[in-house]
């Protein structure tokens, strides 16, 4: 049974059917899924939300100063964090948004000890603004914050894939599912889990990762109860 977990959500999970923007309806369904799964557990949950539905520095910011492009991306994640907060609170779950870039009018600044206190009080902490630094991703934010708050695991939520495969199952029907691997195997076989910086941090610190399909009914419930779902990566 996990005590404290960090859940990484891609920005695209909030998007409309074209994968863009924030759809209140899609966001509400996702929030309901998370709130329902939490019910009746003692799990303390921190969420890192991405911003790919709004802006990705490297993709959307071509021709711009790359740092500026990344800062725009970070601001996008704050918008997603606020949308997710709204939806989770509508579903009855107390939350706090904390941002790595100070934005006191809309959310609290991220302060590690304060985040932990919120978790202890049963609030879901939604972390916006990435690390607050360009040239990183929300994957690195997830591992960094998971280590900071003492999470037992990073849950990498996916849409449409059940975990890690030896090749892309959407392109290769012969792709083989990998139920379990070590961090080193993920690096050596270049398995698609998270970006290399994030993965190295997990490996160095022995932080377990679960890659799973969040849109498969019951998966989140089972994970929060400590059952095996998806692919487990540990040292």
Binding residues: 8-11, 51-52, 56, 70, 131-138, 159, 165, 168
**CA contacts within 13 A on the Cβ side of 195:** 11
Q: Least distance from C-beta 197 to ligand UDP, angstroms? A: 10
Q: Which of residues 59-98 bind ligand UDP (CB under 6 A)?
A: 70, 73-74, 77
Binder of ligand UDP out of 5, 31, 38, 50 (CB under 6 A): 50
Annotated binding site for ATP: 8-11, 52, 56, 159, 165, 168
Give residue 119's Cα distance to chain centre. 16
Q: Least distance from C-beta 46 to ligand UDP, angstroms? A: 15
Annotated binding site for UMP: 51, 70, 131-138
Q: Least distance from C-beta 22 to ligand UDP, angstroms? A: 12
Q: With binding defined as CB under 6 A, does residue 128 bind ligand UDP? A: no
- Among the listed ranges 52-60, 169-177, 206-214, 225-233, the one in contact with ligand UDP (CB under 6 A) is 52-60
Kindly tell me which of 10 and 27 has the beta carbon lying closer to ligand UDP. Answer: 10
**Spatial contact of 153 and 5, defined as CB atoms under 8 Å apart:** yes
Q: Least distance from C-beta 173 to ligand UDP, angstroms? A: 26
Q: With binding defined as CB under 6 A, does residue 11 bind ligand UDP? A: yes
Count Cβ neighbours within 10 Å for each residue of 97-107 and write b for 16 or more, e otherwise.
Answer: bbbbbebeeeb
What are the strands of the beta sheet with 180-181, ordered from one edge? 108-109, 95-99, 124-128, 44-49, 4-9, 153-158, 209-213, 231-233, 180-181
Please tell me the distance from the alpha carbon of residue 122 to that of residue 214, in angstroms, as a whole number: 22
Question: Could you say which DSSP state residue 160 is in?
Answer: S
Binding residues (CB under 6 A) for ligand UDP: these are 10-12, 50-52, 56-57, 70, 73-74, 77, 130-131, 133-134, 136-138, 141
């Amino acid at each position: 049974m996990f005590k404290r977990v960090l859940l990484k959500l891609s920005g695209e999970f909030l998007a409309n059917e074209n994968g863009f923007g924030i759809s209140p309806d899609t966001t509400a369904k996702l929030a309901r899924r998370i709130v329902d799964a939490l019910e009746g557990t003692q799990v303390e949950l921190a969420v890192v939300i991405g911003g790919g539905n709004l802006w990705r520095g490297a993709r959307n910011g071509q021709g711009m100063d790359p740092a500026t492009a990344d800062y725009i991306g970070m601001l996008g994640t704050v918008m997603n964090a606020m949308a997710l907060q709204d939806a989770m609170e509508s579903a009855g779950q107390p939350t706090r948004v904390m941002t790595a870039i100070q934005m006191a009018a809309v959310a609290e600044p991220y302060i590690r000890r304060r985040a932990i206190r919120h978790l202890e009080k049963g609030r879901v902490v939604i972390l916006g603004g990435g690390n607050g630094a360009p040239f990183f991703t929300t994957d690195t934010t997830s591992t960094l914050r998971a280590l900071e708050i003492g999470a037992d695991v990073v849950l990498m939520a996916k849409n449409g894939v059940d975990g890690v495969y030896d090749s892309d199952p959407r392109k290769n029907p012969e792709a083989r599912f990998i139920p379990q691997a070590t961090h080193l195997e993920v690096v050596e076989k270049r398995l698609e889990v998270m970006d290399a910086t994030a993965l190295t941090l997990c490996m160095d610190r022995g932080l377990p990762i679960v890659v799973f399909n969040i849109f498969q009914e019951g998966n989140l419930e089972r994970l929060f109860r400590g059952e095996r779902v998806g692919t487990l990566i540990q040292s």
